[in-house]
Amino acid sequence: MKFTRIAAAGLLASSLVLTACGGEAEQATEAAPEGIPGMTVENARLVLPPVAGNPAAVYFDLDYEGDRALSIRRADVTGAEETQMHAYAMNNGKMEMGETMPIAITKGTKIAFEPGGYHIMAFGLADTVQAGTTVEVTLTVSGGDKYSFDAEVRAAGDER
């Protein structure tokens, strides 16, 4: 009889501990932030290449009004095997395109990802990425936070 009471008390204490742990885990999940506060993207578009198999270019307008200084360190495009952030710069008297280092942003930063400036190159596009559809673009900043948005897919000859 004494053993049964001890066992019952142990089971009750264990269930209370498990309930408390479960409640804390739920709160931690609910508190996880989504996106990057203060970041907005407009006019997003992916322009398909004129020659199949070549990379596509992604352009958009980014506005950042967040309080933390960040760096955009990576971009991903759904349906692309690889992506790279690119920019143009003078090199030995010639304007050349190349992969860029992380892009620093602070409160008030406005960046046009556009032809002749910053842009994202999307390599190895899936056949499902076709004009008239959309693709998801995800920017990853220092610290690992991510901001995702949809980009309209345009044909090679459409407005960039």
Question: What is the DSSP secondary-structure string of 13-26?
Answer: HHHHHHHHHHHHHH
Where does residue 110 fall: left (phi above 0), alpha (psi -120 to 50 degrees), or beta otherwise?
A: beta
Task: Tell me: do 105 and 140 sit in the same domain.
Answer: yes
Task: Tell me: do 112 and 52 sit in the same domain.
Answer: yes
> Is 80 exceeded by the pLDDT of residue 95?
yes
Question: What is the mean pLDDT of the segment spanning 146-156?
Answer: 97
Residues composing the chain: 160
Render pLDDT for 112-125 as a digit per residue (tens, 0 to 9): 999 999 999 999 99
Sign of CA dihedral 49, 86, 116, 66: positive
Question: What is the mean pLDDT of the segment spanning 61-67?
Answer: 97
- pTM of the model as a whole: 0.77
Q: Which domain holds residue 119?
A: 39-154
Task: Tell me: do 60 and 125 sit in the same domain.
Answer: yes
**93-118 residues labelled b (16+ CB within 10 A) or e (exposed):** eeeeeeebeebebeeebebebeeeeb
Task: Tell me: do 50 and 120 sit in the same domain.
Answer: yes
Render pLDDT for 97-110 as a digit per residue (tens, 0 to 9): 999 999 999 999 99
Q: Quick check: is 10 in a domain?
A: yes
